[in-house]
Amino acid sequence: MSSYAQHIATVQARFDAALAASGFDSALVYAGQPRVAFLDDNPAPYKVNPLFKYWVPVIQSPKSAVYYEPGSKPIVFLHQPRDFWHAHVDVPHEEWQNHVELVVVDAPEKIASYLGSKLERSAFLGENFAEPVASWKTAAVNPQALIDHLHFHRAIKTSWEVENMRQANLLAATAHNAARDAFFAGKSELEIHAAYLAAINFRESEVPYNSIVALNEHGAVLHYDVYQTQAPQESRSFLIDAGALYRGYCADITRTYARTDGFFADLIKAVDQAQQDLLSEIKPGINYYQLHVSQHLKIAQILSDFDLVKGSAESIYEQGYSSPFFPHGLGHFIGLQVHDVGGHQRNDRGDMYDRDPRHPFLRLLRDVEVGQVFTIEPGLYVVDQLLEDFAGNNDFNWQRIDELRPYGGVRIEDSVVVGENGNNENLTRDAFAQIES
């Protein structure tokens, strides 16, 4: 059986269980459609419903849908409008079409008429802000019990999903290298951003999230995406957090560079080593929260070693001194979505883990299991807004912090597939190694 055949069989089985648990006969997964801006007729870039692309790798066919009733082949209603205004999206003949009943429609009304009374017993999954979909009488719209069940099990990736993420990482790594070269060539943030996209022939709306392209102190702004058009007088440091998409699956990579050897280059090496040390602790059964705390202790050790904060790693962590420097979570699930779903779920019935107020931004609280894919992305930054709470505290070496501020900060981010006994696959480092060999 091909990996896609196994994938769609898994998706089917997961829908079977989720529909049975939530009491619905079938699901109608609508791909969605672009929204237009207020008082305007220009659409925003279209983003397909992730639950639609879970079934089939079709990401540019709005107004399509998958109808699935356990025991029957899924039906893909592929929307191909009769429209002389827009170019038609070519949907090539691919393997997925052998596993579904394909029905080409030129208007969403045809989906409703094809399904007839089955529509009333079906759970609708997707956005229904536009007619005629808004008026469809389905059994429910986005029922939480069905979504919780599906989201919980999406954490374990199929081989086909992992293959797609391998390819997404290869694309992103290629683009990262082009961006790195543009940084060392002294380009502006906007020029670096353009170099990134050009290296993989992506348009801006095709990357899975706004790329973070940050020179110098901008590296301390966690989601910096302003892109200055002028290069600074001196490009000291470069933090880039940028991804790619392959068949609807995401890559999410961060790298940090220093122009010259010295204190900041050493700090990058230290964070990189701390990230790799943490990678070696990932194994099934451990809770992701424990990994987050372990990474905090390693960042605390760096704060101590670089004389940014006084004390041992334990005392720095216990007093909450590592948090202003490493304020975000260690990472998150990744897959169909960059921040993939289900990270706070205890089970498929919708019970949630309590968030720890000490680490409010941690997106993943589950036990580590074979087949999960998540990011590991420690950081260390000078975020003045967060340091304000510690003003006057002599455990902080403010002179040293002043020296670090012009460099912004460091983040290193890879995606990891959990294997048996710590035999994990690092999608990101493997991708960089592959394109360099």
Q: Residue 61 binds what, of ligand GLY, Mn ion, none (CB under 5 to 8 Å, by partner type)?
A: none
Q: How far is the CB of 172 from Mn ion (least distance, A)?
A: 10
414 interacts with Mn ion by CB under 5 A: no
Q: Give min distance, CB of 86 to ligand GLY, in A.
A: 31
The item of Mn ion, ligand GLY, none sharing an interface with residue 209, based on CB under 5 to 8 Å by kind, is: ligand GLY
Residue 134's SS3 state is helix
Pairing type for strands 122-125 and 26-30 reads: parallel
CA angle, 52 as apex, 80 and 115 as ends, to 5°?
Answer: 65
Site for Mn ion contains 375 (CB under 5 A): yes
311 or 327, CB closer to ligand GLY? 327
Q: Which of 197, 328, 172 is nearest to 249 (CA)?
A: 172
Closer to Mn ion by CB, 69 or 241: give it: 241
Contacts of 400 (CB under 8 A, 6+ apart): 306, 307, 308
Q: How far is the CB of 375 from ligand GLY (least distance, A)?
A: 6
- Asked if residue 191 binds Mn ion (CB under 5 A), the reply is no
Minimum CB separation of residue 242 from ligand GLY in Å reads 8
Q: Computed over its alpha carbons, how large is the radius of gyration of the chain?
A: 23
Question: Under a CB-based contact definition with an 8 Å cutoff, are residues 243 and 172 in contact?
Answer: yes
CB of 355 to ligand GLY, least distance (A): 17
Site string for ligand GLY, 158-177 (x = CB under 6 A): --------------------
Q: What's the one-letter identity of residue 298?
A: K
Total residues at interface with Mn ion (CB under 5 A): 5
DSSP 366: S
Determine if residue 377 is labeled as part of a ligand binding site: yes
Extract long-range pairs of 61-65: CB within 8 Å, 24+ residues apart.
61/31, 61/89, 61/91, 62/31, 62/32, 62/33, 62/34, 63/31, 63/33, 63/107, 63/108, 64/30, 64/31, 64/105, 65/28, 65/29, 65/30, 65/31, 65/108, 65/111, 65/126
CB of 373 closer than 8 Å to CB of 418? yes
Q: Does 241 bind Mn ion (CB under 5 A)?
A: yes
413 is in an annotated binding site: yes
Provide DSSP, 80-125.
----SSSPPPP----GGGGGSEEEEESSTHHHHHHHGGGGGGEEEE
Q: Judge whether 83 and 105 are in contact, CB under 8 Å.
A: no
Q: Is 93 annotated as a binding residue?
A: no
Asked if 252 is part of the footprint of ligand GLY (rule: CB under 6 A), the reply reads yes
Q: How crowded is the C-beta side of 258, counted as CA atoms within 13 Å?
A: 17
Instruction: In angstroms, give the least distance from the CB of 212 to Mn ion.
Output: 7
If the CB atoms of residues 206 and 403 are measured against ligand GLY, the closer one turns out to be: 206
Binding partner selected for residue 217 from Mn ion, ligand GLY, none, CB under the kind-specific 5 to 8 Å limit: none
Q: x-or-dash pattern for Mn ion, window 140-179, by CB under 5 A?
A: ----------------------------------------
- Write the CB contacts of 284 (distance below 8 Å, at least 6 apart in sequence): 367, 368, 369, 370, 418, 420, 421
Nearer to ligand GLY, 74 or 208 (CB): 208
Nearer to ligand GLY, 61 or 415 (CB): 415
Residue 413 CB, shortest distance to Mn ion, in Å, is 5
Query: Which of 69, 148, 191, 241 is the binder for ligand GLY (CB under 6 A)?
Result: 241
Within 312-371, the residues that bind ligand GLY by CB under 6 A are: 332
Residues 3-22 that bind ligand GLY (CB under 6 A): none
Contact between 148 and ligand GLY by CB under 6 A: the answer reads no
Least Å from the CB of residue 276 to ligand GLY: 18
Helix (H, G, I), strand (E, B) or coil at 67: strand
> How many residues make contact with ligand GLY (CB under 6 A)?
6
Residue 436 and residue 170 in contact, taking contact as beta carbons nearer than 8 Å: no
* Cα first-last separation, the chain: 31
Interface with Mn ion in residues 81-140 (CB under 5 A): none
Footprint (CB under 6 A) of ligand GLY, residues 205-224: 209
Strands 414-417 and 409-411: unpaired
CB of 394 to ligand GLY, least distance (A): 34
What is the four-CA torsion angle of 62, 343, 149, 336, rounded to 10 degrees? 30
Binding mask 258-277 for ligand GLY (x = CB under 6 A): --------------------
Closest-CB residue for Mn ion?
241
Q: Give strand ranges (E) for 259-387.
A: 373-376, 379-381
Which DSSP category does 238 fall into? E
Q: Which residues bind Mn ion (CB under 5 A)?
A: 241, 252, 254, 375, 413
Q: Which residues bind ligand GLY (CB under 6 A)?
A: 209, 241, 252, 332, 377, 413
Task: Could you list the residues known to form a binding site for Mn(2+), using ranges.
Answer: 241, 252, 332, 377, 413
